Structure 1
């Protein structure tokens, strides 16, 4: 099977290269975009609880761990992807993570959050209509608190009008075929309370 490689670009494991089995459709976030994202999140990663949905190579969650995240839950439907991530964690001697082989939507339905996440990475396969159900489940499943942030990668045609109206776009970047968004997502309860005059 074809092997690919990811490089951790910052933090404790800066410069470490990790090889993994490349599956069709797997598209790890490129170094330059990952660097932009973690510049955006400069003051938000240390000590954060993170959720990496559609984890793929695990590049985003591993980068967060390298930069001091308290814990990352990795979720991916692929047995190969989850096996790769477990191997990366073993290579890095990191126990601050859990890895789940599951589709994102069923995982969110089964794991009503007992404690909100500070950062959620949401990077689904493009053009498969996977975002909308996850957005709804994240919104109403107790997965974030008032200052939580979501990083979202989507196809370039994705409209921010499809997001809940009270989600705030903090940062935005477009490539030729991708849209990158950093969002702050007040809880529905906080939104409703702030709407009362």
Structure 2
């Protein structure tokens, strides 16, 4: 596992010990950042079910200003902290050991919105549709933002959820990616 591009390009990342998390492969990360644009000039990102923090750190390396990492696994939280420090990006990160739903409710209270949201829940406890509904209902995604879901290829996500519209989807072996944006922004999808 490594950072693919940006200011931390080539930096190796530590995986979460054990088999409780499934890291996003370099191929999947390349696809994600090809879809959403390779580099950013600022912005805020939410990495829910962050695991080792690899996807959020990739976003920071490519120009995001802030990433909020959330995971309910204590080993994952320690791994994220280690990887963030190894990349020297501590001042651009918030790291929370929390359940996804409670974390989203806490974010709503802070009146935050994100340019980019990554959702990668455990495949066996899939609740992407509910999370997408919560994000849409609470307006956590900026009008110009996007949501990337990583999931089991057998999971079929709806074409629309409220104002969110599925604009891209691809499968890579044991994993699939699905991208959502606001419906009215479809013409500007990257």
CA RMSD of aligned residues (A): 2.0
TM-score w.r.t. the length of structure 2 is: 0.88
TM-score w.r.t. the length of structure 1 is: 0.85
1:50 aligns with 2:50: no
Aligned to 1:185: 182
Aligned to 1:105: 101
1:90 aligns with 2:85: yes
**Cα distance in structure 2, aligned partners of 1:23 and 1:147:** 37
Q: Offset of 1:159 from its aligned partner?
A: 1.6
- The one of 52, 55, 62 aligned to 1:60: 55
Unmatched tracts of structure 1, length 5 or more: 1-5, 192-197
Indicate if the aligned counterparts of 1:150 and 1:185 stay in contact, CA closer than 8 A. no
**Cα distance in structure 2, aligned partners of 1:16 and 1:53:** 22
Deviation per CA, 1:61-84, whole angstroms, max 9, x where unpaired? 000011010100000001111111
Q: 1:117 to 1:132 in 2, by over 3 A?
A: same
Q: Offset of 1:142 from its aligned partner?
A: 2.4
Aligned to 2:155: 158
**Cα distance in structure 2, aligned partners of 1:161 and 1:7:** 32
SS of alignment partner, residue 123 of structure 2: coil
Indicate if the aligned counterparts of 2:11 and 2:87 stay in contact, CA closer than 8 A. no
Aligned to 1:173: 170
Q: Between Structure 1 and Structure 2, whose CA radius of gyration is higher?
A: 1
**Cα distance in structure 2, aligned partners of 1:172 and 1:38:** 14
1:140 aligns with 2:144: no
Unmatched tracts of structure 2, length 5 or more: 186-190
**Cα distance in structure 2, aligned partners of 1:23 and 1:185:** 37
Aligned to 1:38: 33
